[in-house]
Structure 1
Amino acid sequence: MDIVTAIILGIVEGVTEFLPVSSTGHLILATELLGFRAEDWAIFNIAIQPGAILAIVALYWRTFLAVAKGLLSWEANSVAFVRNLLLAFFPAVILGLAFGDQIDALLENAVVVAWALIAGGIAILIVERLAKTDNVLGISGVSIGQSIKIGLVQCIAMIPGVSRSGATIMGAMSFGIDRRTAADFSFFLALPTLSGATVLQLYKHRDMVTAGDLELIAIGALVSFVVALIVVKAFMAVVTRYGFGPFAWYRIVAGSAALVWLKTR
């Protein structure tokens, strides 16, 4: 049963990590739906994130290679690319280290997830309607100030159900960045952010992780990798044609249904 659960949660992680719907929130709700206590699978849910991260590396390997080559010659666009991602990453590091215990407690609260899904859906609809964006010409074209502000907005996603990708994409659009660049920035920012969160959680709870847990984590990560490969491509196609509205309405419906279920179970 643990293997089946690991596969199911791996699918949920792969589908939701890069969509503005909150992967952590969905993993918490999925765990509850499967009849397990969310706190028992909290470490697992974070530890399988590298699978989804590797999907971004596989899909954008040419970009990573170009940036690496550019850094060797200190090419301006490559330096700006890395600088912007690091600036956006640091606020999460500071708050994660300062409030780690409080964040861990929220990972056990499915009701918080449900309300956050609804609130996030409403926020997406507002940003989609009101945001005025310009063509920024890629991540290297994002300003230092915009990068820092995106990093600050990303910290809101420490509340499960908010959505890291949703916060960063909507935040970037609110700061005048076009939809495509905002999505790309969110994808690439996931690498240091999710990697850091995974390393921190595994280190903090290293005494609780067994060899069997590592096997389940490997299975979940592999499944999330394969699923994320498919989902990221489909996501960009949907966003290009329909915007983020469908995800906003999904969040509102899913959060409302989760609240009803949590109250009546």
Structure 2
Amino acid sequence: MDLIQTIIIAIVEGLTEFLPVSSTGHMIITQNLLGVQQGDPFVHAFTFIIQFGAILSVVCLYWKHFFQMRNEQEFQDKMQFYWRLIIGVLPAVVIGLAAKKSGLLDWLLDSVLVVAIMLVVGGIFMLFCDRIFNKGSEYNKVTVKRAFIIGCWQCLSVIPGTSRSMATIVGGMQQKLTRKNAAEFSFFLAVPTMAGATLLDLLDMFKEGTSWATSNNIMLLIVGCVIAFVVAMLAMKWFVGFLTKYGFKFFGWYRIVIGAIILILLLTGHSLSMVD
């Protein structure tokens, strides 16, 4: 990977991390379009690590939810908040570790076909999910039970192209949360989920040696994380308002169109790469 490829991929990650269109899927597609070598351990790690850069924007934008404890009541509220996040992330930890240990995750990350299929399938579902689940109430809050069930929905995102954001927001709506509350809990749950995925990838990379830790690769990771952080913060602010007002249909049609174009290209024997 070079600097230009890194900047483009990081912008794509920042724009799509909190949208229900699959940021991992879009990065895989972008990497193929740019001719980035697939199957490279550093490329796999880069895909996860810059997502954590985007996730840090949640902590910055919602820092009061994470850290403000001015009195005993707020301290108790924060402890309950953290407990719900722990419960919510447990299903993804179990499924994610199993997928990684089996080699399934690495195989999925190299498959553009899987991404295209899941973009279309998820897009079709999103055309109807507002009708199915749009019964949320402001009085319904995220309980421990709801957090766990939303966490189970999040496990679907182990398949690139599904979208962690879509899975968790739909899971929240299925649990009778409003779109806004479901989206915000999706943001919060992303923090421990992506922190864990990033840490796991870094540990795996160090176990295989430190030959990857060249000054160039470290610079690319830093640049990617910073750009993803800034772009994600802007995208997140826009997304909450858009989703609350318009729902999922726009994103559903977008997914279907993009996925269908990729499927047609693949099935007709065309390469996605724009680089010879």
Query: Which residue of the partner structure matches residue 238 of structure 2?
Result: 234
Q: Number of residues paired by the alignment?
A: 261
User: TM-score w.r.t. structure 2 length?
Assistant: 0.89
| Aligned mates of 1:233, 1:173 — CA distance in 2 | 20
Asked whether the equivalents of residues 150 and 168 of structure 1 are also in contact (C-alpha less than 8 Å), the reply is yes
Matches within 5 A, 1:8-27: 8-27=8-27
- Residue-by-residue CA offset, 1:11-67 (whole Å, 9 max, x unaligned): 01100001100000000000001122332322211111121012111211222232x
1:64 paired residue among 63, 66, 72: 66
| Aligned mates of 2:138, 2:223 — CA distance in 1 | 39
Residue 259 (structure 2) pairs with residue 262 (structure 1): no
Matches within 5 A, 1:190-205: 190-205=190-205
| Aligned mates of 1:14, 1:74 — CA distance in 2 | 31
Q: 1:2 to 1:115 in 2, by over 3 A?
A: same
1:210 paired residue among 185, 209, 213: 213
Q: 1:136 to 1:261 in 2, by over 3 A?
A: same
2:224 paired residue among 207, 215, 220: 220
Asked whether the equivalents of residues 106 and 159 of structure 1 are also in contact (C-alpha less than 8 Å), the reply is yes
Q: 1:177 to 1:217 in 2, by over 3 A?
A: same
1:137, distance to aligned residue in structure 2 (A): 4.7
96-105 or 221-230: which moved more? 96-105
Q: 1:69 to 1:192 in 2, by over 3 A?
A: farther
Percent same amino acid at aligned positions? Answer: 42
User: TM-score w.r.t. structure 1 length?
Assistant: 0.92
Residue 251 (structure 2) pairs with residue 250 (structure 1): no
Query: Which residue of the partner structure matches residue 175 of structure 2?
Result: 175
Asked whether the equivalents of residues 137 and 181 of structure 1 are also in contact (C-alpha less than 8 Å), the reply is no
1:74, distance to aligned residue in structure 2 (A): 7.0
Matches within 5 A, 1:32-181: 32-40=32-40, 41-66=43-68, 68-69=69-70, 75-100=75-100, 101-137=103-139, 141-181=141-181
- Residue-by-residue CA offset, 1:157-211 (whole Å, 9 max, x unaligned): 0000100011000111112111111000000001000111111112112225322
Q: 1:240 to 1:202 in 2, by over 3 A?
A: same
